[in-house]
Every structure is written in C-alpha cells, then in structure tokens.
Structure 1
Amino acid sequence: MGMLIPLPFPDQPGEPVFRAAEFFAGIGLVRLGLEKARFRVVWSNDIDEDKHDMYVRHFRDPEGGEHQFHLGDVGAVKGDEVPDVDLAWASFPCTDVSLAGNREGLAGKESGTFFHFTRILEEMKDRRPRVVALENVVGLATSHKGQDLAEAIRRLNSLGYSVDVLTLDARRFVPQSRPRLFLVGAMEPPEDVPEANPELRPPWLRAPFADPSLRTHRAFLPEPRPLLTEGLSQIVEKVPEKDPSWWDEKRTAAFLDSLSEVQAVRLEQLRKGRRVSYRTAYRRTRGGVPRWEIRTDDIAGCLRTARGGSSKQALVRAGRGKVMVRWMTPREYARLMGAGDYRLDGLRRNQALFGFGDAVAVPVVEWLAQNYLLPLVEQNAAPAEPHPATGIEEERQAVAAHG
C-alpha cells in the first residue's frame, strides 16, 4: 500500500477519466461535484419524483445517451442493472440516524436502505467498483453508541473494502454550517497514517480506528480550507424593499415578539447599524413555546428539507433603522449549496427548497473527489483492462504521468 498523493490538474480539466454511479442521487449535486473533478457519472438512482424532475431539468441528458437514471426504490435495483463503474457514491437517507430524527439507526426503514446499497455491490460480484464513498449526517457516528457506524464499516469490510471515516463541513467552502460524515472504502487502500488530518478525524470520530475487528485506514490529505466566518451577505438576493416576499408589519411584529431578551437586544444593535446586515433564523420550541432564534454571524444555519415552518430558514435584514424578514429564496439555497447556476425555471418553491435542503454541497464533493477519490481510484484501477469508453485508458495514463 502506498501513500495517497493528490494529482495535479491543469486549469482546464479536460475530458473525464473515470466512471461513477450515484445512489440516492437527489437533485444531482454529487454529480456536479464529481464531474468538476473529472469523473463521468453514468448511472443514477433516486425514488423521489420531484427530485428527479429537478435533476432532468438541470442536466438535460440526451435520450439514448450514456447516462441512465433509475427512478424508483433502490430495493428494486439489481446488481446486473448497474453498469461498470470505477466509483460508487451513496448519500443514503439520514432520517433514522440524525439527532433530530427517531434514532432507529440502520435498523430504520429509510437509513436501512444502506443495506440495499451493499447488497447491490455484492450482486455486482467481480464488477464491484474498487472504490466507494458514502455520505450522511454526523449523527451516524453516535447512533446506537457508535454501533451503527461500526456495522456499516463491517459490512463494507465483508465486501473487500478497507474504510476511512472523516468529517467535512461545507462551511469551509460556502457560508453555511453543514457538517457531514464520509466513509471512503477501497479495495487497495492507501497507507494508514494514524496522525493524519486531526481536523477531519476529531476525537469523537476515532473509535472505529481503535476497533481491531474493523479494517480501516486514514489517508493523509491536504489541509482543508479554514471555516468561513462570513459570506452570507454576499450571496443574498437583492430583493427590493417593496417586494411582497418581505413579511408584512403584523407578521414581522410577531417575529420580533417571539425573540428572547438577549436576541432582541442583539437585533436592535444591528437595526441601529449604519450598514445593512443579514442573519438567518429558525423557529424552535423552547419550554413548549415557539420562538425564533437568530444566528449571531454572517453564516447561514444548516439548510433543511422544507417540510413545515420549523425546518425552513428565514432571512433577517437589519440596519439603517429597519428590520425586515422573509423566507430564503431557492436561488439563495442553491448558492449556499455551491450550485448557484442550478436551473430553477419551472420549479415549485418548496420543491426547490426540499431538493437543496436534502443534498450534499457541491464544493465538498469536489474537494473530496479531487483530493481523495480520484487519486484513490487511479491507485485502484485495474492496469490490464481498457475502459470501454473511447480513449479512457489513454487519458488515465496521461493523468498518472502528472503524479
């Protein structure tokens, strides 16, 4: 096993080198990130028709082209239906492992779809991709006192993969607090470096590496960017003050009345400011009483699926003697997910908010793919068998030459 070294790339990325499949694809933000790092996504799956609608509107894959989308339950997918790929990515549902969920863990109906993903890999037999990546909320690390994470690693081990576990916050790339957990499995893992990247593998994430019953590794990666401390104000849409999307006087007053004393004082200071500031707010229930809580910084809270008022994020504009409030827009959600140019025409508002709130930030996928997955796939690539796509083997050799 050798040290994993990120490959250098020219400013113009050129043609894709490796093929990937994305399970639980949602609206395709993983695809956007992978394709920025020279993967070609050739197969996708999701059960949600609204997300599929957003996906096909954005990517507009030609009928009869290389890309296939399997719309339906992953439980109905068979291994022989998935084409040959170098990487399989799965952002399986977080419902049962999230701290805000029911905590049934991998035994739950939705998060348990993880086992359909591994079943499909098993059914692919010797066509199984040599590298896999899985994404979920950080709650997976503590679900059932860490047993669910250990079980996920153990299942991947049974399929021949050594597994790395790391956490990465989208706030390193976009002004949104969005920590996520990633599992990276490889048939031929890089050298295990126990002290590698403590910011990606903090103390609360080290239990799997200390378990001798699990086959794990820790790849040495470049230092990720520091967490952003501002930037929300730069991505906000400039909605005119008279636009009807701003809440009326009565609704704004109700918002202000719901604030705690500390929050009211803080907002009043912003209102008196000479410049306009933006903050995000969530509605929470404290002691049985619904209250709005405003973030203290120029960073958005974690975007969520827009099912009910408590999950939607409001935008507060304060300064020059005024306070105004409105819901965040789909374009703002897209920008906070690193997908600012995503096609939004013809979409229902909540359809868009749900799609982005239940996705992976594009630059997080891109960073992981560029610095970890692409070099790892290169390392795991079978040397003798040329890829069926024209010119792919030659492209692989050219990329390897950069290393």
Structure 2
Amino acid sequence: MDLFAGIGGFRKGFESIGGNCVFTSEIDKFAQETYKANFQTEHKFAGDIRDVDTKLIPSHDVLLAGFPCQPFSLAGVSKKNSLGKSHGFDCQIQGTLFFEIARILEHHRPKAFLLENVKNLKSHDKGQTFKTILDVLKNKLGYKVQYRVINAKSFVPQNRQRIYIVGFREENNFNFDDLIIPDILDGPTLSSVLHPEDGSETLEEPYTIPHLSKVNEKYTITNKLWDYLRMYEKKHRAKGNGFGFGLCKREDVARTLSARYHKDGAEILIYQGDKKNPRRLTPRECSRLMGFDKTGESNFIIPVSDSQAYRQFGNSVVVPVIEEIAKAMSGYINQKDIMKEKIKLPICA
C-alpha cells in the first residue's frame, strides 16, 4: 500500500521488483492528479488517511510511507519556531500522522514496511522523536527494525540525505548495511538531467522551444530577482551565514530540491553565461533529478502547473534509491510466510 503517496515515487520503485499496488492514500488534490495520470488506480484511492476505517484497507504485504517531514526537517522546525508554532509530535496536523502508519501496521500486520523522512528526524527534539518512533515500531508492534541514512547523490545529481526505516514482521537475515550504495564521488552530474539545448532532444513545450529545443526563456529569472538574490547572499555572507543561492554548471551537483523551489528557485540556479541571468530547472529536469525519468527521457506525465510540479518533485522520494532498497528487501518479502496467525499487539498513540 502506498501511504502519503505524493506522486508515486515509492510505488514506482517497488513496481520495479514486480510490486502490485492495492491501496493508495494522498490528501493533496494536485498530487492526486499527477499520480492518477501516471499509474493505474482501479484499487481504492483515499484522500486523508485519518478518515479511512482501517478495516476498509485491503490486506497487503508491504506498507510504503514517506510520512510528512515538515515537522522534523531543519527548515520546517525553523519556520515553525519563528511563527511560534509547535513541531514534531506536538504538531497535531502533520507530526501525529506517524501514528496512522502504526494504526495500519497493528491491524494488518504486513510482512514489511519501508518509511522515509528527512535526516533530521534522528536528531529532532534531542533524539526523543526518533526514539518514540522506534519504540512504537519495535516494542509495541514487534517489528524487526533497521534504519540507514542514504545520500541520493550516488544516483542523481543532487545532495539529498534521507533516513530510510525498514521493518520486517519476522526474523530474517536482512541487513541494511549490506546494501551497496555507489560512492557519491562517482555519482552523475547535472549534465545527465539538463536539457542539452543542441537539437538532440525532442521538443517538449512549454519546457523547451522549437529552436534547437532550447529551454524556454520563462525559466530565466528576472533582473529584479537576480539582484535580490545576490544582495541577500552578500548580506548573509557578511554575517558568516551560509544562506544564499546555489549557482550550478552542467558539471556540478545540485543542492537538495525542496518543495519551496517554486518560490524563487534559489537553491538550484543553472548558469547561462556571464551575460545572461541564470535560470530555474524546468519541471522535466526536476523529474529527471528525482529519478522519475532517466537521462534524456520525458515519459513521466506532468499534468499540473509548474508551481505544483516543483512542490511535488521537491516533496518526493528519489526513485532509484527506492528501487535499490526494494531489490534488497524483495527476497525477504517473498519468502515463505511462516506465521501461523496474525498477532494482535496493543498500541497507545
């Protein structure tokens, strides 16, 4: 089942090992639009998981969930603190959604699960948040749990560290540390995801224009924005802060693509020469940057506005990372079920 599904990064990764999705839940209507444009959804598709009766969720072997990370991310915590709002499990809207996962695990007892969140989840609230999550998964639900921080930089040209939590209902020999991740120094550069702009790529309007399939000028930032970003960086550099824009060339690796990319594109700006302002990535380049499309491909359907597409890709998982974890889990998911009957363990949210 695909919980907090976004635009289907988890599903795409597990379909690579023959997975068949039987239930999807995603609350955002624009993400739903993109998801449904790319995947078959004859099965039950729910909105807010909090409104779904656990009994109406079909039995499943694997639960997949990239539960909302804003309450735990460095940027999310900083923003909530500045607004005087709570974060982590004190955030009643998003933070407690982890317990929706626990509710479903308790009832259906799937063979395995894979969860994803920001790296900061481990250190949030001095480690208490992560300790609570592990306590629920291990001690209250009885799953054998392992976790690992992986940088997607090994697979795509962006520095994106995330924590992945794997759990199995039964004892087995799965060892997360055995998963071989390529050296980040050997990872691809932005040239693998950017439009070549030399006529070798098929025209894809509105991202590229007929002349040599060059990037549409609308993605070049304005003089006003460029002046502001340079002034902003200069001000913070003088204070010793690391804030500022990320200017990248084709041979570089980008910063983390975030959901706020639609605002000004500051974290990943593509250099276009000294005589021209830099530009944002196009949504198609974001699709490649997150692994939904491979180099030179434009197969993933993007039916929404640029702003919504930036939010969706920025919130997503990196597909090749999920594919590698899925491969490592597959043999243990498909091994003979030795469990005689479902175990019911009490849980307190």
Q: Which residue of 1 aligns with 2:200?
A: none
What is the 5 A alignment of 1:2-401? 21-61=1-41, 65=42, 67-71=43-47, 73-102=48-77, 104-109=87-92, 110-122=94-106, 124=107, 127-157=108-138, 158-191=140-173, 218-227=175-184, 228-237=186-195, 238=197, 243-247=216-220, 250-251=223-224, 254=227, 257-258=230-231, 287=239, 291-294=244-247, 298-306=252-260, 309=263, 313-319=267-273, 322-340=275-293, 341-371=298-328, 373-379=329-335, 381-382=337-338
Higher alpha-carbon Rg: 1
Which whole-Å CA distance do the structure 2 matches of 1:235 and 1:317 have between them? 14
* Secondary structure, counterpart of 2:260 in structure 1: coil
SS at match of 1:156: helix
- Secondary structure at the aligned position of 2:310 is classed as helix
Q: For structure 2, which runs of at least 5 residues remain unmatched after alignment?
A: 79-86, 198-207, 342-349
Q: CA deviation at 1:188?
A: 1.5
Structure richer in helix, relative to its length: 2
Q: Residues of 1 paired with 2:256 and 2:217: CA distance?
A: 26
Residue type matched to 1:328 in 2?
L
Asked whether the 8 Å contact 2:229–2:244 carries over to 1, the reply is no
8 Å CA contact 1:188, 1:380 repeated in 2: no
Matches of 1:187 and 1:378, distance apart in 2: 13
Residues 188 and 253 (structure 1 numbering): CA distance in 2 closer, same or farther, change over 3 Å? Answer: closer
Q: In the aligned structure 2, how far is the partner of 1:146 from the partner of 1:256?
A: 35
- What's the CA shift for 1:120? 2.2
Paired residue type of 2:124? S
TM-score (norm 1): 0.68
Query: Judging changes above 3 Å, is the alpha-carbon distance between structure 1 residues 284 and 37 closer, same or farther for their aligned structure 2 residues?
Result: farther
Percent identical among aligned pairs is 29
Aligned to 1:269: none
Q: Which deviates more from structure 2 when the two are superposed, residues 111-120 or residues 338-347?
A: 338-347
Distance 1:256 1:120 in 2: 45
Give the structure-2-normalised TM-score.
0.78
CA contact (8 A) 1:165 1:184 kept: yes
Paired AA for residue 361 in structure 1: V
Q: CA deviation at 1:223?
A: 1.8
Deviation of the 1:370 alpha carbon: 0.3
CA distance in 1: counterparts of 2:236 and 2:64, whole angstroms: 34
Q: Is the 8 A contact 1:246 1:324 kept in 2?
A: no
Range moving further from structure 2, 285-294 or 107-116: 285-294
1:140-172 deviation digits (Å, cap 9, x = unpaired): 000111111111111012112011011111111
